[in-house]
Protein backbone atom coordinates (compact mmCIF):
# COMPACT_ATOMS: atom_id res chain seq x y z
CA UNK A 1 0.00 0.00 0.00
CA UNK A 2 1.31 3.36 -0.94
CA UNK A 3 1.90 6.25 1.40
CA UNK A 4 -0.98 8.19 -0.18
CA UNK A 5 -3.29 5.23 0.38
CA UNK A 6 -2.27 5.08 4.04
CA UNK A 7 -2.85 8.80 4.48
CA UNK A 8 -6.24 8.54 2.81
CA UNK A 9 -7.18 5.61 5.01
CA UNK A 10 -6.11 7.46 8.19
CA UNK A 11 -8.05 10.54 7.10
CA UNK A 12 -11.17 8.48 6.57
CA UNK A 13 -10.81 6.88 9.98
CA UNK A 14 -10.32 10.30 11.61
CA UNK A 15 -13.39 11.70 9.89
CA UNK A 16 -15.45 8.73 11.03
CA UNK A 17 -14.32 9.24 14.67
CA UNK A 18 -15.15 12.95 14.52
CA UNK A 19 -18.68 12.27 13.26
CA UNK A 20 -19.19 9.61 15.93
CA UNK A 21 -18.01 11.85 18.77
CA UNK A 22 -20.11 14.76 17.50
CA UNK A 23 -23.16 12.51 17.37
CA UNK A 24 -22.50 11.29 20.89
CA UNK A 25 -22.10 14.85 22.22
CA UNK A 26 -25.24 15.98 20.55
CA UNK A 27 -27.13 12.99 21.94
CA UNK A 28 -25.91 13.84 25.48
CA UNK A 29 -27.04 17.48 25.26
CA UNK A 30 -30.45 16.53 24.02
CA UNK A 31 -30.72 13.86 26.69
CA UNK A 32 -29.92 16.41 29.40
CA UNK A 33 -32.46 18.87 28.03
CA UNK A 34 -35.04 16.13 27.97
CA UNK A 35 -34.30 15.27 31.59
CA UNK A 36 -34.67 18.94 32.60
CA UNK A 37 -38.02 19.15 30.85
CA UNK A 38 -39.10 15.96 32.60
CA UNK A 39 -38.03 17.28 36.02
CA UNK A 40 -39.76 20.60 35.40
CA UNK A 41 -42.91 18.85 34.31
CA UNK A 42 -42.73 16.62 37.38
CA UNK A 43 -42.23 19.64 39.66
CA UNK A 44 -45.20 21.45 38.21
CA UNK A 45 -47.29 18.31 38.48
CA UNK A 46 -46.40 17.78 42.16
CA UNK A 47 -46.85 21.44 43.17
CA UNK A 48 -48.99 21.87 46.30
CA UNK A 49 -52.47 23.08 45.43
CA UNK A 50 -54.37 25.25 48.00
CA UNK A 51 -57.31 23.47 49.60
CA UNK A 52 -60.46 25.54 49.86
CA UNK A 53 -62.86 24.79 52.72
CA UNK A 54 -66.45 24.79 51.58
CA UNK A 55 -67.90 25.15 55.12
CA UNK A 56 -68.14 28.50 56.93
CA UNK A 57 -65.31 29.13 59.39
CA UNK A 58 -66.59 30.54 62.68
CA UNK A 59 -64.18 32.47 64.93
CA UNK A 60 -64.72 31.54 68.58
CA UNK A 61 -65.99 34.44 70.71
CA UNK A 62 -65.00 34.79 74.35
CA UNK A 63 -68.00 35.48 76.56
CA UNK A 64 -67.82 38.64 78.68
CA UNK A 65 -68.66 38.53 82.35
CA UNK A 66 -71.32 40.81 83.79
CA UNK A 67 -68.63 42.97 85.39
CA UNK A 68 -66.79 43.34 82.06
CA UNK A 69 -69.99 44.32 80.26
CA UNK A 70 -70.76 46.89 82.96
CA UNK A 71 -67.19 48.24 82.78
CA UNK A 72 -67.45 48.60 78.99
CA UNK A 73 -70.76 50.42 79.33
CA UNK A 74 -69.27 52.79 81.88
CA UNK A 75 -66.22 53.39 79.70
CA UNK A 76 -68.42 54.40 76.78
CA UNK A 77 -70.40 56.77 79.02
CA UNK A 78 -67.47 58.41 80.82
CA UNK A 79 -67.11 62.18 80.51
CA UNK A 80 -63.89 63.38 78.93
CA UNK A 81 -61.98 66.29 80.46
CA UNK A 82 -58.55 67.89 80.34
CA UNK A 83 -58.52 68.87 84.03
CA UNK A 84 -59.99 67.60 87.29
CA UNK A 85 -62.06 70.76 87.68
CA UNK A 86 -63.52 70.31 84.21
CA UNK A 87 -64.25 66.66 84.96
CA UNK A 88 -66.06 67.54 88.19
CA UNK A 89 -68.28 70.00 86.36
CA UNK A 90 -69.16 67.44 83.66
CA UNK A 91 -70.06 64.49 85.91
CA UNK A 92 -73.87 63.99 86.20
CA UNK A 93 -75.10 64.29 89.80
CA UNK A 94 -78.89 64.24 89.46
CA UNK A 95 -79.32 60.49 90.02
CA UNK A 96 -80.13 59.32 93.57
CA UNK A 97 -77.15 58.04 95.56
CA UNK A 98 -76.86 54.58 97.04
CA UNK A 99 -76.22 54.43 100.80
CA UNK A 100 -72.54 53.66 100.13
CA UNK A 101 -72.08 56.60 97.77
CA UNK A 102 -73.95 58.80 100.25
CA UNK A 103 -71.35 57.90 102.90
CA UNK A 104 -68.46 58.64 100.52
CA UNK A 105 -69.93 61.96 99.39
CA UNK A 106 -70.72 62.84 103.02
CA UNK A 107 -67.08 62.35 104.03
CA UNK A 108 -66.01 64.66 101.19
CA UNK A 109 -68.64 67.25 102.12
CA UNK A 110 -67.84 67.43 105.83
CA UNK A 111 -64.08 66.90 105.73
CA UNK A 112 -63.09 68.98 102.71
CA UNK A 113 -65.84 71.09 101.17
CA UNK A 114 -63.67 74.18 101.69
CA UNK A 115 -60.70 72.53 99.92
CA UNK A 116 -59.84 72.69 96.20
CA UNK A 117 -61.17 69.78 94.14
CA UNK A 118 -57.78 68.03 94.30
CA UNK A 119 -58.01 68.08 98.11
CA UNK A 120 -61.58 66.79 98.03
CA UNK A 121 -60.58 63.96 95.71
CA UNK A 122 -57.69 63.09 98.02
CA UNK A 123 -60.06 62.74 101.01
CA UNK A 124 -62.34 60.54 98.90
CA UNK A 125 -59.33 58.47 97.83
CA UNK A 126 -58.45 57.77 101.47
CA UNK A 127 -61.97 56.41 102.07
CA UNK A 128 -61.79 54.28 98.93
CA UNK A 129 -58.32 52.99 99.88
CA UNK A 130 -59.47 52.07 103.38
CA UNK A 131 -62.46 50.14 102.04
CA UNK A 132 -60.07 48.15 99.82
CA UNK A 133 -57.57 47.53 102.65
CA UNK A 134 -57.84 44.62 105.09
CA UNK A 135 -56.90 47.03 107.90
CA UNK A 136 -60.28 48.77 107.79
CA UNK A 137 -63.98 47.95 107.24
CA UNK A 138 -64.76 46.80 103.69
CA UNK A 139 -67.46 49.35 102.83
CA UNK A 140 -67.52 53.12 102.54
CA UNK A 141 -70.10 53.42 105.31
CA UNK A 142 -68.10 51.06 107.51
CA UNK A 143 -65.01 53.23 106.99
CA UNK A 144 -66.82 56.53 107.60
CA UNK A 145 -68.67 55.34 110.71
CA UNK A 146 -65.72 53.47 112.22
CA UNK A 147 -65.33 54.66 115.77
CA UNK A 148 -62.94 57.58 116.42
CA UNK A 149 -61.91 58.01 112.77
CA UNK A 150 -63.83 61.00 111.39
CA UNK A 151 -64.52 63.90 113.71
CA UNK A 152 -67.71 65.00 111.93
CA UNK A 153 -69.44 61.74 112.92
CA UNK A 154 -71.22 62.33 116.24
CA UNK A 155 -72.89 59.48 118.10
CA UNK A 156 -72.65 57.23 115.04
CA UNK A 157 -74.59 59.62 112.82
CA UNK A 158 -73.76 62.14 110.10
CA UNK A 159 -74.84 65.78 110.51
CA UNK A 160 -77.51 67.24 108.24
CA UNK A 161 -76.37 67.98 104.70
CA UNK A 162 -77.50 71.05 102.77
CA UNK A 163 -78.53 69.03 99.74
CA UNK A 164 -79.41 72.03 97.59
CA UNK A 165 -75.95 73.54 97.93
CA UNK A 166 -73.28 73.64 95.24
CA UNK A 167 -70.88 72.09 97.80
CA UNK A 168 -73.03 68.96 98.04
CA UNK A 169 -73.39 68.74 94.27
CA UNK A 170 -69.61 68.93 93.93
CA UNK A 171 -69.11 66.34 96.69
CA UNK A 172 -71.35 63.92 94.79
CA UNK A 173 -69.36 64.45 91.59
CA UNK A 174 -66.03 63.93 93.37
CA UNK A 175 -67.42 60.79 95.03
CA UNK A 176 -68.25 59.27 91.66
CA UNK A 177 -64.84 60.20 90.25
CA UNK A 178 -63.08 58.53 93.17
CA UNK A 179 -65.36 55.48 93.18
CA UNK A 180 -64.94 54.83 89.45
CA UNK A 181 -61.26 55.83 89.33
CA UNK A 182 -61.83 58.49 86.69
CA UNK A 183 -58.89 60.64 87.84
CA UNK A 184 -55.62 59.83 89.62
CA UNK A 185 -55.44 61.47 93.02
CA UNK A 186 -52.27 62.96 94.48
CA UNK A 187 -53.07 61.02 97.64
CA UNK A 188 -52.27 57.81 95.73
CA UNK A 189 -52.33 54.90 98.23
CA UNK A 190 -52.80 57.04 101.36
CA UNK A 191 -54.78 55.62 104.25
CA UNK A 192 -54.55 58.56 106.66
CA UNK A 193 -54.72 62.34 106.64
CA UNK A 194 -54.90 65.23 109.08
CA UNK A 195 -55.10 69.01 109.02
CA UNK A 196 -51.81 70.90 108.94
CA UNK A 197 -52.59 72.80 112.13
CA UNK A 198 -52.47 69.57 114.20
CA UNK A 199 -49.69 66.99 114.57
CA UNK A 200 -51.00 63.64 115.80
CA UNK A 201 -48.48 61.20 117.27
CA UNK A 202 -49.30 58.49 114.70
CA UNK A 203 -48.11 60.74 111.83
CA UNK A 204 -44.47 60.26 112.89
CA UNK A 205 -44.72 56.58 112.00
CA UNK A 206 -46.31 57.08 108.58
CA UNK A 207 -44.95 58.04 105.16
CA UNK A 208 -46.25 61.36 103.83
CA UNK A 209 -47.63 61.07 100.28
CA UNK A 210 -48.96 64.55 99.57
CA UNK A 211 -49.82 67.92 101.07
CA UNK A 212 -52.83 69.60 99.49
CA UNK A 213 -53.87 72.95 100.86
CA UNK A 214 -54.63 72.35 104.59
CA UNK A 215 -54.34 68.53 104.62
CA UNK A 216 -51.39 66.12 104.74
CA UNK A 217 -51.91 62.57 103.44
CA UNK A 218 -50.00 59.49 104.62
CA UNK A 219 -49.53 55.83 103.84
pLDDT by residue (tens digit) across 173-198?
999 999 999 999 999 999 999 999 99
Q: Residue 164 is part of which domain span?
A: 81-218
Q: 29 and 132 share a domain?
A: no
3-class SS of residue 35:
helix
**Phi-psi region for residue 44, left (φ > 0), alpha (ψ -120 to 50) or beta?**
alpha
What does the pLDDT read at residue 98?
Answer: 97
Domain count, the chain: 2
**CA-based nearest residue to 171, from 68, 101, 218, 80:** 101
Q: 199 and 142 share a domain?
A: yes
Whether 71 maps to a domain, the answer reads no
Whether 57 maps to a domain, the answer reads no
Threshold 0.75, pTM exceeds = no
Q: How many angstroms separate the first and last alpha carbons of the chain?
A: 128
Residues 81/177, Cβ–Cβ less than 8 Å = no
Distance in angstroms (rounded) separating the CA atoms of residues 103 and 94? 17
What does the pLDDT read at residue 67?
Answer: 58
User: Is pLDDT at 78 greater than 50 in this prediction?
Assistant: yes
Q: 7 and 109 share a domain?
A: no
Residues 100/141, Cβ–Cβ less than 8 Å = yes
Q: 32 and 94 share a domain?
A: no
Per-residue pLDDT reduced to its tens digit, 15-43: 444 444 444 444 444 434 444 445 445 54
Per-residue pLDDT reduced to its tens digit, 100-136: 999 999 999 999 999 999 999 999 999 999 999 999 9
Q: 38 and 94 share a domain?
A: no
**CA-based nearest residue to 101, from 177, 213, 5, 26:** 177
Distance in angstroms (rounded) separating the CA atoms of residues 92 and 99? 18
Distance in angstroms (rounded) separating the CA atoms of residues 80 and 91? 9
Q: 149 and 194 share a domain?
A: yes
Burial of 126 (0-12, 13-18, 19+ CB in 10 A): buried
What does the pLDDT read at residue 165?
Answer: 97
Amino acid sequence: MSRKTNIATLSAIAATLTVTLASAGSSGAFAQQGEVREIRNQTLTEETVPVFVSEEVVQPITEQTADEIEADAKANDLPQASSLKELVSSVPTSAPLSSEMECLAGAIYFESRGEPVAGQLAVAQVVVNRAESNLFPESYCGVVYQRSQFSFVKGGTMPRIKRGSSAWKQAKAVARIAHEGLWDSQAADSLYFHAKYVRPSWSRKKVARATINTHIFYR
